[in-house]
């Protein structure tokens, strides 16, 4: 297989997964990723080159387990031990059917074939587009991509060091070829999480590429 470091030609077997470009993850939102809104025009242009596009949407019920407000005495960005491992606690964000959960108003990807919502289970967080944070409960995206004959997964969106990271790692684990379009992502960087993400990508052989490296077939 051709290395993604050499650039990628986009045809029918490639999919762009746009992670969580929602108001709450942009400046002014409840869990803003610094400069998160900068990627909106970049992602729009990038998505226009793909036949297959999936959008993910973080979509929590009120009182979700990942909210610091659901745990007495806990503050946002503290980590707790969940039954499935460490869980960072966040400010309340992306509550179902609220303006904060809506896609950023500038996002224009009308040809996206699937909007995949995640994080609906009150008791489990879901960073990845493929599995909830227990690493065992699938979202169904693997089956969708296989039926659509997508072999190569490109990722963009928010935040690089959480939902993009875990989605990329799960895609790799599911034996898709994976590339993270780094200039179409922004990180939130909690306790060195951006550095940890880069180290993990390097260890797993997940290349970070630029928008410029992606050409239409």
Residues that are catalytic: 20, 118, 163
Residue number, 29 or 119, with CB nearest to Zn ion: 119
Give just the sign of the alpha carbon dihedral 4, 204, 56, 93. negative
Sheet holding 152-158, edge to edge: 114-118, 52-58, 14-19, 152-158, 177-186, 208-209
| Residue 168 Cβ vs Zn ion, minimum distance, rounded to whole Å | 17
Residue number, 119 or 187, with CB nearest to Zn ion: 119
| Residue 59 Cβ vs Zn ion, minimum distance, rounded to whole Å | 8
| Residue 64 Cβ vs Zn ion, minimum distance, rounded to whole Å | 7
By CB under 5 A, the count of residues binding Zn ion is: 2
Options 68-76, 111-119, 167-175, 187-195: segment touching Zn ion (CB under 5 A): 111-119
Binding to Zn ion by residue 58, rule CB under 5 A? yes
**Site residues (CB under 5 A) for Zn ion, limited to 68-107:** none
Give the residue among 192, 148, 201 at the shortest CA–CA distance from 172. 201
Binding to Zn ion by residue 169, rule CB under 5 A? no
Residue number, 153 or 158, with CB nearest to Zn ion: 158
Residue number, 22 or 197, with CB nearest to Zn ion: 22
| Residue 11 Cβ vs Zn ion, minimum distance, rounded to whole Å | 33
DSSP states of 147-206? HTT--EEEEEEE-IIIIIHHHHHHHHHTT-EEEEEEEEEE---STTHHHHHHHHHHHHT-
Q: What are the φ and ψ backbone dihedral angles of 157, each rounded to 5 degrees?
A: 125, -150
Two tokens at 193?
């999480």
Which residues of this chain interact with Zn ion, rule CB under 5 A? 58, 119
């Amino acid at each position: 297989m051709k290395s993604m470091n050499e650039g990628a030609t986009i045809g029918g077997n490639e999919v762009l997964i746009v992670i969580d470009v929602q108001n709450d993850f942009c400046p002014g939102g409840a869990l803003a990723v610094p400069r998160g809104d900068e990627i909106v025009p970049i992602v729009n242009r990038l998505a226009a080159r793909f036949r297959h596009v999936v959008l993910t949407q973080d979509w929590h019920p009120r009182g979700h387990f990942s909210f610091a407000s659901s745990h007495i005495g806990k503050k946002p960005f503290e980590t707790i031990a969940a039954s499935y491992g460490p869980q960072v606690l966040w400010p309340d964000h992306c509550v179902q059917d609220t303006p904060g959960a809506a896609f950023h108003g500038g996002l224009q990807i009308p040809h996206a074939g699937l909007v995949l919502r995640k994080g609906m289970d009150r008791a489990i967080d879901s960073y990845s587009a493929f599995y909830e944070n227990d690493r065992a409960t699938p979202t169904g995206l693997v089956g969708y991509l296989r039926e659509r004959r997508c072999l190569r997964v490109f990722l963009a969106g928010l935040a690089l060091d959480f939902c993009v990271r875990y989605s990329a790692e799960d895609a790799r684990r599911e034996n898709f070829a994976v590339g993270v379009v780094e200039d179409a992502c922004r990180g939130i960087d909690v306790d060195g999480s951006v550095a940890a993400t880069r180290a993990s990508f390097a260890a797993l052989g997940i290349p970070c590429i630029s928008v410029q490296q992606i050409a239409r077939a």
